[in-house]
Structure formats: C-alpha cells, structure tokens
C-alpha cells in the first residue's frame, strides 16, 4: 500500500503549484540623483588638484616676475585662466548636483588696447574670487573624495545622507565664490550708464557753447571788425560817416560783451564761485518772471561739482517756471540732511509737468542720476508743482592760493 502524501494542488483545479520566482540580485538602493552626487564628489579630488596647482603656479610665477616686463601680463593671463576653470566648475555643479549659478559679466577690455586690458584683468574681482576658490578647494576635495570612496565599501547604508550633506556644503561654496555679486554687477552697470550720460551731457554742452560762440559773439565781432575797417577808410574822406560807424561799432561791442558774459555765466557763473549758492540762486531768482522766495540753509559750501549741478538744476527749473507754469509765486529751498544736499522748487502754476515726456526734466533726471542723485516731480493737473532733487554731499576741498590765503568752505 502506497502511503506517500499526494502532490500539492493549487485551489480546486488539481494542478501543481509553480516554483517560487528567484530573488533579484543584490544591488545598492541609490537613485540616479545620488549616483550623480557621488560622481561629483569623487571628481572633486582631481579637479581640486588641477585647480590648486594651476592657481598657485600661475599667481606665484606672475607675482614673482612682476618686477620684469612679462610678470604682470603673465599674472593677468593666469587670472583669465582662473576664470576659465571657474566656468568649468560651474558647469560641473550645474550638471551633477543641480546648483545653477549665473555666469559673471565678461571682462571689460576698455578700448581693446593692451594696457586697458591688462589693468582690467588685474583689478577684476571676479577673477580673484575664482583664484581663491581654486586655492581653498584642495583640502575639501581630499576630504569629500576619501569619505565618499570609503562609504561605498564600509558605510553604504548611510552614504546617501553623507553625500547629500557634502554636496549641500559644496554648492554653498560654489555660490559664495563663483556666483557673480548681483549688487556689484548692478552697480557696475549703473556706473557705466551714468558715465555715458556724463559724456553725452558734456558733449552736448560743448556743442551748445560752440554754437553760441559761432552764431553770437563771433558773428558780432566779425561784423565789428568789418565796420571798423570801413570807418578807418572813411576817416579822412567823410569824418561824420566814420564817426557814425564808430558809434555803431561801440554799440556792437557792448552787445558782444553782454553775450560773452551770458555765455560765461552759463558755463560757470562768477558769482557762484565767489559767493556761493545763496547769492547765485538769488541772482537767478531776480531774473525769473515770477516772484521767487529763496531759502538756503547751508553751514558750509559743498564740493564745486555738486555746487555747480545744484545751481544749474535750479536754473533750469526756474526757466521752466517762467516759460510753462503760469504761476504767480514760486519758492526755492536748499538744505543739507546728513550726507545729502536737498533741493526743492515749488510753484502754484497749472501743473502737468511729467519727466517721462522727454522734456528738459528728463535731462535733469539723467544728469542728477549720473552723480547718484535723485529727481522726483509731483505735478498733478491744476497744480501745484513740487520738484525735489537730492545730491550726494561732498565737502569742498581747502586749497591755498599763491598769496597764502585759502579758499574753501565758508
């Protein structure tokens, strides 16, 4: 009698159960991101060695040979190479650990000549930050490479946490030294724009002065010379006509002198140089078609450049009051608040002044902006109009005259 147990069945079908599926092969439970981070940390050591050797060699050699002709160009070229290695490090961090760092502004080469390029390369803060990054990376590269490689063999269950922590610190280092300084970049762009405004304004002023001289005083002086030449020829033949022509020439001389005075006053008035803003602005106000009350509360005079900009700002604003405002009264106030020179011009006219319309107010705003100033216009339809300008305060330098006396703040 057969006493062996019956074969196993599955359910009620009576069929034999399939054998169990084989277990999957053992493998690390790391995802794709973790493997990329591990690869990044393992590459830290060779990249750190390359960067350290290059930076130290290039900077040391360039600085050591700076007393020779080739030293400074070699140092500038070494800094340019540090920029290139920094670009490679930013690309590696972006691709492997997801640290997206913006590229810094390219090196400003000036006019394209060698000396401007050399000076720009030597004083470029971005290149020096890249050189610092390449120099300090070597100890960190040795540490991350050792920890990651050892963790793959003896501590792989906790390695992802260590890898994530190290890549966070590495990303912070990349952002701190290889990321452009947004405030500095914005400031550089602002200064470049302001420099363009200053150059354009100076060129426009020179063209205006040339035009005024050519069309005004020069034309009168040419006519005066011709008139005096004719009077000289008629002096013996017709003394009365010669005397009349000399009288006309005398009148032309007076007109030409007045035009030259006005032109000199437009460049830099003598009263501003001699007596300061209080007297100069009172002189402007006396020529305005609207009664103007001038209040200047300054214990000292600002630097000549700031004083000149303040004078011409008030002059332009009072000209606008005379031409466009239809005001009955106006006022000018100047005072100092900490390190700012404040200017406020108000009138009770019809308002409607707008800086964005491209008028002379826009030119004033650009001129003040070129020296870190501010320009604010409040002019609702129907008035009143209030224009506030701020200029940075700089103390006037004390200078000795040849006679031993001094000129400076009063």
**Residue 27, pLDDT above cutoff 80:** no
Grade residue 181 by pLDDT with cuts at 50, 70 and 90. Answer: low
By CB neighbour count within 10 A (0-12 exposed, 13-18 middle, 19+ buried), where does 272 fall? buried
User: How, if at all, do strands 292-297 and 406-407 pair?
Assistant: unpaired
Mean pLDDT of 301-322: 82
Distance CA 173, CA 396 (A): 44
Residue 143 has pLDDT above 90, yes or no: yes
pLDDT of residue 138: 92
Q: What is the mean pLDDT of the chain?
A: 77
The rounded distance, in Å, linking the Cα atoms of 145 and 139 is 10
Buried b (16+ CB within 10 A) or exposed e, 277-295: bbebbebbbeebebebebe
Counts for the chain of helices (H) and strands (E), in that order: 12, 7
β-partners of residue 337 are 340
Per DSSP, what are the bridge partners of residue 377?
387
Q: Look at residues 378, 376, 373 and name the one whose alpha carbon lies nearest to residue 390.
A: 373
Determine which helix (DSSP H) or strand (DSSP E) holds 170, and give its type and residue range: helix 159-178
pLDDT single digits (tens) 329-350: 888 898 988 888 888 888 888 8
Q: How far is CA 59 from CA 111, 122, 134, in A?
A: 26, 11, 11
Query: Which tens digits make up the pLDDT trace of 237-288?
Result: 777 777 777 777 777 777 767 666 666 555 566 777 778 888 888 888 888 8
Determine what percent of the chain is predicted with pLDDT higher than 90. Answer: 15
Residue 88 dihedral angles phi and psi, to the nearest 5° = -65, -40
Task: Choose the weakest-confidence range: 35-39, 79-83, 118-122.
Answer: 118-122
User: Taking 60 as the threshold, does the pLDDT of residue 385 lie above it?
Assistant: yes
pTM score over 0.95: no
Could you tell me what percent of the chain has a pLDDT over 70?
73
pLDDT score of 88: 92
- Residues ≥6 apart with Cβ < 8 Å to 390: 340, 341, 342, 343, 368, 373, 374, 375
pLDDT at 12: 47
- DSSP per residue, 41-104: HHHHHHHHHHHHHHHHHHHHHHHHTTTSTTHHHHHHHHHHHHHHHHHHHHHHHHHHS----PPP
Distance CA 410, CA 408 (A): 6
pLDDT at position 248 is 73
Give the C-alpha separation, 244 to 231, whole Å. Answer: 8
The answer to which of 52-61, 332-341, 348-357 has the lowest mean pLDDT is 348-357
Residue 113 is encoded by which pair of tokens?
């000549």
State pLDDT tens for residues 190-229: 555 545 555 555 555 566 666 656 556 666 677 777 777 7
User: Distance between alpha carbon 179 and the CA centroid of its chain, in Å?
Assistant: 18
């Amino acid at each position: 009698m057969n006493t062996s147990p019956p074969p196993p069945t599955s359910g009620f079908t009576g069929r034999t159960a399939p054998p169990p599926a084989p277990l999957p092969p053992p493998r690390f439970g790391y995802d794709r991101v973790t493997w990329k981070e591990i690869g990044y940390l393992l590459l830290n050591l060779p990249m750190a060695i390359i960067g350290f050797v290059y930076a130290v060699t290039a900077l040391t050699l360039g600085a050591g040979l700076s007393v020779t002709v080739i030293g400074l160009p070699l140092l500038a070229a070494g800094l340019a190479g540090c920029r290139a290695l920094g670009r490679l490090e930013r690309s590696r961090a972006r691709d492997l650990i997801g640290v997206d760092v913006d590229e810094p502004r390219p090196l400003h080469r000036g006019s394209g000549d060698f000396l401007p390029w050399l000076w720009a390369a030597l004083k470029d803060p971005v290149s020096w930050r890249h050189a610092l990054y390449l120099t300090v990376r070597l100890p960190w590269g040795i540490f991350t490479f050792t920890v990651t490689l050892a963790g793959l063999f003896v501590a792989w269950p906790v390695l992802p946490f260590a890898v994530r922590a190290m890549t966070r610190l590495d990303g912070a280092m990349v952002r701190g030294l290889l990321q452009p300084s947004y405030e500095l970049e914005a400031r550089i762009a602002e200064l470049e724009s302001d420099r363009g405004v200053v150059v354009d304004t100076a060129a426009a002023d020179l063209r205006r002065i040339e035009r005024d001289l050519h069309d005004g005083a020069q034309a009168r002086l040419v006519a005066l010379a011709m008139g005096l030449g004719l009077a000289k020829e008629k002096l013996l033949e017709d003394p009365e006509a010669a005397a009349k022509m000399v009288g006309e020439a005398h009148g032309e001389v007076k007109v030409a002198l007045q035009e030259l005075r006005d032109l000199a006053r437009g460049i830099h008035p003598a009263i501003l140089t001699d007596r300061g803003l209080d007297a100069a602005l009172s002189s402007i106000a006396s020529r305005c078609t609207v009664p103007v009350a001038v209040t200047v509360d300054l214990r000292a005079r600002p630097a000549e450049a700031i004083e000149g900009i303040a004078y011409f700002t008030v002059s332009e604003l009072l000209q606008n009051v005379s031409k466009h405002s239809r005001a009955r009264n106006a006022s000018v106030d100047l005072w100092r608040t900490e390190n700012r020179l404040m200017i406020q011009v108000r009138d009770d006219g019809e308002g409607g002044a707008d800086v964005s319309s491209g008028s002379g107010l826009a030119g004033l705003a650009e001129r003040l902006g070129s020296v870190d100033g501010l320009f604010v216009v409040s002019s609702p339809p129907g008035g009143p109009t209030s224009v506030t300008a701020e200029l940075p305060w700089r103390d006037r330098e004390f200078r000795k005259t040849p006679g031993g006396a001094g000129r400076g703040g009063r």
